[in-house]
Amino acid sequence: MKLIERTLYLDKLKRVCGTPDIKVVTGVRRSGKSRLMDSYIGWIEESKKDSNIIYIDFTNLKYEGLKEYHTLNNYVEEHYRRGKNNYLFIDEVQMCPSFELTINSLHSSGKYDIYVTGSNAFLLSSDLATLFTGRTYEIEVYPFSFAEYMEYYQKEDLEKAFDQYIKDGGMAGSYAYQGQEEKYNYIEDVFNTLIVRDIRQKYKIRNEALMDRIADFLMDNISNLSSARKIADTLTKNKDKINHKTVGKYMEYLCNAFAFYEVRRYDIQGKKYLASSEKDYLSDHAFRYAKLGTRNMDYGRIIENIVAIELMRRGYEIYAGVLYKKEIDFVAMKHDEKIYIQVSDDISAETTFVREVDPLLKIKDAYPRILIARTRHDDYQYEGIKIMDIKNWLLDK
């Protein structure tokens, strides 16, 4: 399979090389964590001539005997080289029970620059401070962006490339297959494996059928406002009574594994967060097509999903905006930066254009306002709102 250098993540790793942090690389299954580590190790070997690489991959039977934390600790210490910069890489670290005891011990020695990857259900952001006594630096790896998709395929026709990206998504492992059906079989298997191996194993799920129904419901309703109670009521109509607390827990588990991302609502006028309902987005939009089929392409929601993940990829915290009972798709924040964003598939009809820009026009502060759509034209301004073609925005043009 063809490889490309994922510079966004590689540069993040380079910037923290040699720092005392425990670097934790996370991401949905098959998003490229291991490939990223390989690239980074290659960079260290080329640029740091006094390096000693200690690498352990728990998916490889070669390291089967190290899945006991004392044995793992001894192996690492045996491979330490005095007088060199010692880099420790452990892939799928959660496969070693009590791995955190070894990592903390090695980190406290101050002898190693430590990097670990693992399943998100076992390396939750909220748990890192509890797992590791040292400071952690988390790098979240997402599926391929449209820019990476273009680099991979070297396509010249942007419009056709974006049409295909909508169908293919960013799970690069599927690119090895020629037919769309074969690609979707791969993507569906990744999603099912993610649920089976991560969520069910971690949380000992009893009602597997309910978990599947909730996942399908969220896929079918990406970008829609929802809540655990509403989902429970909807699923109860044709089936047995479902407790909304159980639904809420299963939704949390799906987000913990980064199958979905939950986006809270934000009252722009009151500058406060709302707890009534939220939106959910897929880590990769092609999961929906692979699981539910392509009879309803629903381009508007898919494009909104693509924008949501791209904003997170670029380091923004995102919220669903509310202003005077009108919805603004995204309020994107990063440090002192704030951007208001509306997303649409087609704004060629005047009624659609007016509907999309109207909420943005009502915002009175000076932060940037953007309408992203498939305009197929150069970017332009409308009463202080930047109208951008989705491809230009995704390629950061």
State how far the Cα of 15 lies from the Cα of 10, in Å rounded to an integer. Answer: 9
Give the CA-trace dihedral at 324, 325, 327, 332, to 10 degrees: 50
Q: Does one domain contain both 150 and 124?
A: no
Instruction: Note whether residue 322 is domain-resident.
Output: yes
State how far the Cα of 109 lies from the Cα of 117, in Å rounded to an integer. Answer: 21
Q: What pLDDT score was predicted for residue 305? A: 98
Return the CA Rg of the chain.
Answer: 22
Q: Does one domain contain both 160 and 251?
A: yes
Residue 84's domain comprises 7-141
pTM: 0.93
Q: Does one domain contain both 387 and 263?
A: yes
Instruction: Note whether residue 196 is domain-resident.
Output: yes
- C-alpha closest to that of 205 among 213, 219, 195: 195
pLDDT tier, 134 (very low <50, low <70, confident <90, very high otherwise) = confident
Average pLDDT, rounded, for the chain: 92
Instruction: Note whether residue 1 is domain-resident.
Output: no
Give mean pLDDT, residues 355-379. 95
Instruction: Note whether residue 150 is domain-resident.
Output: yes
pLDDT tier, 1 (very low <50, low <70, confident <90, very high otherwise) = low
Q: List Cβ neighbours of 238 (8 Å cut-off, separation of 6 or more).
A: none
Q: Does one domain contain both 113 and 217?
A: no
Show which of 102, 119, 141 is a domain's final residue. 141
- Over residues 260-308, the pLDDT tens digits come to 999 999 888 877 888 778 999 999 999 999 999 998 889 999 999 999 9
Q: Treating both helix axes as pointing N-terminal to C-terminal, what angle do 299-313 and 158-168 enclose, rounded to 10 degrees?
A: 90
Q: Does one domain contain both 135 and 150?
A: no
* Domain CATH code at residue 127: 3.40.50.300
Show which of 103, 120, 141 is a domain's final residue. 141
User: β-pairing, 136-141 with 22-27?
Assistant: parallel
Of residues 37 and 269, more confidence is placed in: 37
Inform me whether the pLDDT recorded for 66 exceeds 80: yes
- C-alpha closest to that of 331 among 301, 363, 358, 292: 363
Instruction: Note whether residue 2 is domain-resident.
Output: no
State how far the Cα of 194 lies from the Cα of 120, in Å rounded to an integer. Answer: 10
- C-alpha closest to that of 283 among 249, 316, 254: 254
- Over residues 149-178, the pLDDT tens digits come to 999 999 889 999 999 999 999 999 999 999
Q: What pLDDT score was predicted for residue 195? A: 76
Query: In the chain, how many domains are there?
Result: 2
State how far the Cα of 289 lies from the Cα of 285, in Å rounded to an integer. Answer: 7
Q: What pLDDT score was predicted for residue 120? A: 66
CA 60, distance to chain mean position in Å, is: 25
Backbone angles phi, psi at 165, to 5 degrees: -65, -35
Q: Does one domain contain both 136 and 151?
A: no
Q: Does one domain contain both 136 and 208?
A: no
Instruction: Note whether residue 77 is domain-resident.
Output: yes
Q: Does one domain contain both 131 and 204?
A: no
Instruction: Note whether residue 390 is domain-resident.
Output: yes
Show which of 141, 176, 199 is a domain's final residue. 141
207: left (phi over 0), alpha (psi -120 to 50) or beta: beta
State how far the Cα of 30 lies from the Cα of 39, in Å rounded to an integer. Answer: 16
Instruction: Note whether residue 366 is domain-resident.
Output: yes
Q: Does one domain contain both 77 and 13?
A: yes
Q: Does one domain contain both 107 and 215?
A: no
Give mean pLDDT, residues 225-253. 88
Q: Does one domain contain both 130 and 160?
A: no
Inform me whether the pLDDT recorded for 238 exceeds 80: no
Q: Does one domain contain both 288 and 253?
A: yes
